[in-house]
Structure 1
Amino acid sequence: MTKDLERDLGLFAVIAISMGAMIGSGIFILPGIAMAEAGPAVILAFVIAAILVVPAALSIAELGTAMPEAGGDYVFIERGMGPAMGTIAGLGTWLMLMLKGALALVGGMFYLEAVMALPSVEAVAVTFAVVLIAINLIGVKQTGGLQLIMVVVMLVILSVFVAGSIIRVDGANYDPFFTEGMGGVFTATATVLVSYAGVTKVAAVAEEIEDPGRNLPLGLLVSLVATSILYALLVFVLVGVIEGEALAGEEAPMAEAVDLLFGELFLYAIVLAALLALISTANAGILTASRYPLALSRDDLFLDVFEYIHPRFATPVVAILSTGGIMVLAILTLDVEQIAKSAGAFQILVYILVCGALIAFRERDLEWYDPEFSTPGYPWVQLFGIASGVFIISRMELLPIVGSIAIVIGGFVWYRLYAKERVEREGVAKGLARREAGRQFVRDTEAQFERSDQYEVLIPIRRDVTREQEDALIQMAAPIVRRRGGRIRVVRFDEVPDQVPLDTAADELTSEDVEFETRTDHLVRYLEVPVEVGEIVSHDSRHAVVNFAERTGADLVLARQRPTSRLETLFGRDADWIMEHAPCDVVFVQHEQRGEIDEIAVVTDRSPFNDPLKVELADAIADTLGASVRFLFPVSADAPEELLETIEAYHDDLDDLCTVPVESTIVRTDDEVEGLSEALAAADLVMLSTVTHRRLPDLFVERRSDRLAAAIEQPVLLVHSKKTRRGSFLRPILNRVLFD
């Protein structure tokens, strides 16, 4: 059984990841440092830096669509220019990301110090680093939705700042403009170039992007243009409202400007935005940087110990600890300016190698190299990227230049002494060509696959589903498929922490994987319906389930769901997200099945969509198992006769849909949950309607279906029709007024 990798990052997720990685140190820390080097012309440094990033961004976009693999720039350089250059690129990118994370933490503490007294900036930064290391060790997820919210919050705060302060810009602060000449501008460009390092970060997750031929290049360019415009506006305002001597060398320039213009209230808002941006950048730095020693180790270019994955947390423990340790060391030994310039130097080195890798792939004229996006202006764009990168490094101070040279020499020496004997591949390896050709064949086959009109039930299996529960789901789906004619797809959705590349998890066939396939094959032998088994690896199972259902044209998702608390509803349940986004009907199963099923109870609620679906499913299961169906409807103890007649007529209409014996029960009770619980005591299987939860309203008023499912011991099917639309909190009130 092979494992597929789930693509669940759309265009907005690509933009959010890229912008979220860029909006950080670039605007919150570096303007003051760069101002000291370029004077008022610092705005040109940010614009020039954005232009210099374009060749690498375009090259990354093309390479990412040709080889949408986890790993990004390291993979492209290693495959294109050989393992020696790959070693240099991997080590350089690793160091750059660690330094960028360290810079973000130190800078964040300067902003925190603007509103409260800190014993030591470095000590508090180290404390935050330790917390983030622990978070990554246990595999706490970062979600695309959270990242998008943080980016939106930051953009709103920064936009309000620009709009409110641009009218207060003093033109005298720009006279003279070139106080340090173009030499100072280029020096400042080298300093701020690390601000745009995040634009290529998304290439590290290229394998997870939907429609990479469109979303990868478009997302990279949109995020780069938007961020560069934002940087230019913010720097223009900062220089225009703060005197040059005060801004030059200022470690928290945004806080200084806000405090000067808007006072204490908005100061707290900007500090919040800075902390969100910088701590998020630092956490992303640990998460992303730790993937590089892991990738190097898997390619036999680094020590095997970095490949170790913790059996409980499923995270690369050694890679994370070493990454965090070096970040802490940088915080304690380097100042902000040294960290920024060293990170920028390593980033430029990687940009040069990326442009070289694209040239290597193009000039080899490989049959399998067929990118969905081609860089315009080849090869001049790449040659410009290489030449401009070398020029900018030459404008740097001694420390970052020496560091860059040391990385090149050290990486080459390490490769010669350690890795050369362990690898046999060369640049643009034949093994890669075969592997990518195989993947292209799979993609072509999927594109040509035409789904039949048969009814398909998708059973998503997660790690917390036991063997008995899985068997019960398959046996419950079998009558439905047998009635309609179709098949069952049993897919194990393996969710791995964000700290682990998807291809790492996909390459590992565990004993659990073998046991899953074996037991499923054994179970389906005696079923009279076709069953297909597969496994998908993703960072977000709920997205993967919905995407797979949409891609395969599933008609019904039948999944296991444990009872959830109101607090979980407040923070958002996976089940609600699936119901909201699934392209088909969804049924969740709660409680264990005990013994044979002789009676299926359907609690009706006059839903024009859920009730017919419940009846259809109940009739199919009952017909196969030789069971009967009973409809139940609760009414108040003093309900009028007209209502009772209406319900009886409604149940008669539902009865016409059934092929098995049907009974109808009207439950008179002033407590619906208690009354229904007693009436359902004799049933072997219960069917209830469910809809997506509204977080705040459902926190205070729990839904009847949730309370009823928790009150009974029988297995419960919570049924949600794809035609059901979530209404406002007024819908239940209106239904009660109109029907009761």
Structure 2
Amino acid sequence: MKELKRDLGLLSVLAISIGAMIGSGIFILPALALEIAGPAVIVAYALAGVLVVPAALSKSEMATAMPEAGGTYIYIERGMGPLLGTVAGVGTWFSLSFKGALALVGGVPYLLLLFDLPVTPVALGLASLLILVNVVGAKQTGRLQVAIVVVMLAALGWFTAGSAPSVQSANYAGFFDAGVGGLLAATGLVFVSYAGVTKVASVAEEVEDPGRNIPLGILGSLAFTTVLYVAIVAVLVGVTDPGSVAGSLTPVAVAAEATLGYAGWLAVILAAMLALVSTANAGILSSSRYPFAMSRDRLVPPSLSAVSDRFGTPVNSITLTGVVLLLLIAFVPILEIAKLASAFQIMVFALINLAVVAFREGSAEYDPEFTSPLYPWMQVFGAVTGVALLTQMGPIALGGAALIIVGSVVWYVGYVRPRVRREGAATDAIRRQVGRDALTEVESSLEADTHEVLVALTKNADAERERALVALAADLVRPDDGRVVAVRFEEIPDQAPLTEEVTVQSASDVSFETRTEALAADLDVRIEADEVVSHDTKHAVVNFAADRGVDTIVTEHEPLRLRSRVLGDPIDWVVRHAPCDVLLVDNLGYDRPEDVVLSEGRGPYPPLAVDVADAVAAANDGTVSLWYPADRESTDQRRRTIDEYQAELSALLSVPVRTEAVRTDGGQPSRPDLLVRRGADDRLRDAVFDDRPVFPSPGCTVVTVYPHESRRPRFVRRLLERVTF
């Protein structure tokens, strides 16, 4: 694959970054921000500059670790995965295209102060010229950027220094009259003035000595531009009457004419044109690299990653970006759409900060030459403040950003997902943390004592099935010298009164107690037998468990009949209301199970299931097999992380452990004696997470565990388990 030439030095990096910022941010936005915050717009610019620092540091770090074309897209895709990478790539590409078009259309009013020209044709002509320059090569682009920035800064420096003596303190009266709300709203608006600070990262593959030049270029240009913005806006407010430039299309020209006369007015017009052309030029340069980088990762068609033999540039990507830019200028109200795109830009900055955390906490290869200070607090600050600023952008801006996100997701599902099997560093970092949390819970569960287990016999079961349930309970309590309470629950019709006659022991009850005494001696466990008669068995089971304070209820799982499906399974009700853990048994017998399988299809093994499997295997001198679905679409990193998790889990158990990958299409490596699995926490989670068994019927007794509500994982936890495991 052809690589882009590394011919952009530090001067070009600074020029691209400064040129990408000094445009609409200073020549157009101050007038709009003045209407919102008044003189406090000066603080808004300073505050916005500070809030950009976390993203600038994060992007500098990732750019030195991955100096590849694509910038924001590359970092988010590698850190957060192909889905968010697609969203970031498509959204940032559109955002930069919108802002480039806005810069050209917004710069024309300054030109109209000199010439009577139509706005759209002039903007289209300038756009076509810049597209051609970018096709010719990045070196020519960098040189043009340096020349533009030097002339532009000279003119702005003259305006600031020459106008400063004319500042009137009275113009700052009522500085904070707009309040905190006005200040934050203005900060959200002018935040986009600094968005270009990290554009240079999108051409990192073409930067000489990226480990040095990228951080210096990004951070140096941010510091310089923040000071320059604050100085210019302070002068702009101080030399004009309050409200005289608010809403103006050419606010800096108005101020220059008042302080420097015709010559200053002319210099500002020249600077404005150069600045806005420079913004558009940097926008084309950087935005065209997004389709290029996405194509190399197979997120868009491969033709967009082709590099021209003649010019050494991605001509197809630049051409596509140019066509979009021209269409926007010709047919779309750019100012409104640029505001929408700006909201997405703020969100992308928040994702940039999270991507750094994903890389550092994950297991992906990541070795940056520059590292952000104050990690992770700097990144947390940047993500939180980014979300806060989004709330200031208004419902229309948020809705537009949401539309871009939905479109990107549709593209991902329709084009990317069938072609790409890859995941981001964040997914693995979250998976590892979820695994560590699960192992901690397993360790606590294994250390906890089980003092009393209730075996609830809710229907006429034969002696063998009774024995199976009691034997299972005995294996659970034996290590802690606990007790099994075996209770037959009999339900009588509501119209039948609960008199002494119905509670008299029958011959069947006496036989049950005799069998229980024999079981106690045979299993070497204390067993207490009892009978309960009630109008409602499910309430009776729960009430008995609560009165006795048992640790676990063991009962048979009732097959769902039509009535159960319509009105609800009584056992489901017991699970939801039990004051303790519940084990539901699909009872095919229990005869010293030595091969115990722990089955989990979508997440780490539940602590209660691990505890039960370990106790049963230990009681019968057996082994535990960890079943996990054989997933041919699993990434190598996912498999390695799960292997490590299973190895750590095995070390916690008291019996020999082996792992077995099991196909979900009917094949299984062995026929176990007992299988233990997780049950759905509730109907909603069952629908969301599809917690039905992913394996075929194992042909043995199956124990489905339901931990008490206080020990069940919350929705977000289950969602993370489902997504990452």
TM-score, normalised to structure 1's length? Answer: 0.55
The partner residue of 1:198 within 196, 199, 205 is: 196
Q: 1:24 matched to which residue of 2?
A: 23
Q: Distance in 2 between matches of 1:87 and 1:3?
A: 23
Q: 2:603 matched to which residue of 1?
A: none
| 2:8 and 2:139 in contact (8 A); partners too | no
**Amino acid paired to 2:394:** E
Secondary structure at the residue paired with 2:195?
A: helix
Matches within 5 A, 1:209-228: 209-228=207-226
Post-superposition offset of 1:205: 2.3
Post-superposition offset of 1:309: 5.3
Q: 1:251 matched to which residue of 2?
A: 249
Q: 1:177 matched to which residue of 2?
A: 175
Post-superposition offset of 1:324: 2.5
Post-superposition offset of 1:152: 2.1
Mean Cα displacement is larger for which, 309-318 or 104-113?
309-318
Match status 1:278 vs 2:297: no
Q: 2:58 matched to which residue of 1?
A: 59
Change (3 A) 1:360 1:400: same
Post-superposition offset of 1:94: 0.2
| 1:92 and 1:349 in contact (8 A); partners too | no
Change (3 A) 1:249 1:329: farther
Q: Distance in 1 between matches of 2:176 and 2:376?
A: 33
Identity %: 54
Q: Distance in 2 between matches of 1:203 and 1:390?
A: 23
Q: Distance in 2 between matches of 1:29 and 1:349?
A: 23
Q: Distance in 1 between matches of 2:312 and 2:214?
A: 28
Post-superposition offset of 1:5: 6.4
Change (3 A) 1:152 1:167: same
| 2:14 and 2:221 in contact (8 A); partners too | yes
Q: Distance in 1 between matches of 2:369 and 2:149?
A: 28
Change (3 A) 1:311 1:61: closer
Matches within 5 A, 1:49-448: 49-118=48-117, 120-137=118-135, 139=137, 142-307=140-305, 315-335=313-333, 337-366=335-364, 368-428=365-425
| 2:4 and 2:313 in contact (8 A); partners too | no
Secondary structure at the residue paired with 1:222?
A: helix
Secondary structure at the residue paired with 1:233?
A: helix
Q: 1:506 matched to which residue of 2?
A: none
User: Which string of whole-angstrom CA distances, capped at 9 and with x for unpartnered residues, describes residues 528-586 of structure 1?
Assistant: xxxxxxxxxxxxxxxxxxxxxxxxxxxxxxxxxxxxxxxxxxxxxxxxxxxxxxxxxxx
| 1:95 and 1:346 in contact (8 A); partners too | no
Q: Distance in 1 between matches of 2:88 and 2:123?
A: 28
Matches within 5 A, 1:701-712: none
Change (3 A) 1:413 1:292: same
Change (3 A) 1:429 1:351: closer
Post-superposition offset of 1:311: 6.5
Secondary structure at the residue paired with 1:425?
A: coil
**Amino acid paired to 2:247:** G
Could you say which structure has the larger radius of gyration? 2
Post-superposition offset of 1:423: 0.6
**Amino acid paired to 2:95:** M
- Matched residue pairs, number? 427
Change (3 A) 1:134 1:203: closer
**Amino acid paired to 1:246:** S
**Amino acid paired to 2:171:** N
Post-superposition offset of 1:113: 0.9
| 1:194 and 1:343 in contact (8 A); partners too | no
| 2:59 and 2:201 in contact (8 A); partners too | yes
TM-score, normalised to structure 2's length? Answer: 0.56
Change (3 A) 1:429 1:304: farther
| 2:2 and 2:307 in contact (8 A); partners too | no
| 2:358 and 2:426 in contact (8 A); partners too | no
**Amino acid paired to 1:322:** L
Post-superposition offset of 1:139: 4.9
Post-superposition offset of 1:308: 5.1
User: Which string of whole-angstrom CA distances, capped at 9 and with x for unpartnered residues, describes residues 483-504 of structure 1?
Assistant: xxxxxxxxxxxxxxxxxxxxxx
Change (3 A) 1:145 1:294: closer
**Amino acid paired to 1:64:** A
Q: 1:528 matched to which residue of 2?
A: none
Q: Distance in 2 between matches of 1:84 and 1:289?
A: 19
User: Which string of whole-angstrom CA distances, capped at 9 and with x for unpartnered residues, describes residues 623-674 of structure 1?
Assistant: xxxxxxxxxxxxxxxxxxxxxxxxxxxxxxxxxxxxxxxxxxxxxxxxxxxx
Mean Cα displacement is larger for which, 248-257 or 129-138?
129-138
| 2:363 and 2:425 in contact (8 A); partners too | no
Change (3 A) 1:382 1:129: same
Q: Distance in 2 between matches of 1:50 and 1:351?
A: 13
User: Which string of whole-angstrom CA distances, capped at 9 and with x for unpartnered residues, describes residues 181-216 of structure 1?
Assistant: 221221221211121122101111223334333332
Q: 1:40 matched to which residue of 2?
A: 39
| 1:90 and 1:296 in contact (8 A); partners too | yes
Q: Distance in 2 between matches of 1:22 and 1:400?
A: 21
**Amino acid paired to 1:56:** A
Post-superposition offset of 1:315: 4.8
Post-superposition offset of 1:50: 0.8
| 1:96 and 1:347 in contact (8 A); partners too | yes
**Amino acid paired to 1:26:** G
Q: Distance in 2 between matches of 1:168 and 1:334?
A: 40
| 1:22 and 1:199 in contact (8 A); partners too | yes
| 1:33 and 1:251 in contact (8 A); partners too | no
Q: Distance in 2 between matches of 1:66 and 1:270?
A: 40
Q: Distance in 2 between matches of 1:152 and 1:392?
A: 32
Q: Distance in 2 between matches of 1:336 and 1:180?
A: 28
Change (3 A) 1:127 1:146: closer
| 2:8 and 2:208 in contact (8 A); partners too | yes
User: Which string of whole-angstrom CA distances, capped at 9 and with x for unpartnered residues, describes residues 494-515 of structure 1?
Assistant: xxxxxxxxxxxxxxxxxxxxxx
Q: Distance in 2 between matches of 1:4 and 1:84?
A: 25
| 1:190 and 1:344 in contact (8 A); partners too | no
| 2:359 and 2:426 in contact (8 A); partners too | no
- Please provide the CA RMSD for this pair: 2.4
Secondary structure at the residue paired with 2:410?
A: helix
Post-superposition offset of 1:14: 2.3
Q: Distance in 1 between matches of 2:327 and 2:397?
A: 17
Post-superposition offset of 1:300: 1.4
Q: Distance in 2 between matches of 1:312 and 1:228?
A: 39
Change (3 A) 1:33 1:362: same
Post-superposition offset of 1:280: 1.9
Post-superposition offset of 1:176: 0.7
Q: Distance in 1 between matches of 2:299 and 2:107?
A: 35
**Amino acid paired to 1:417:** G
Change (3 A) 1:5 1:338: closer
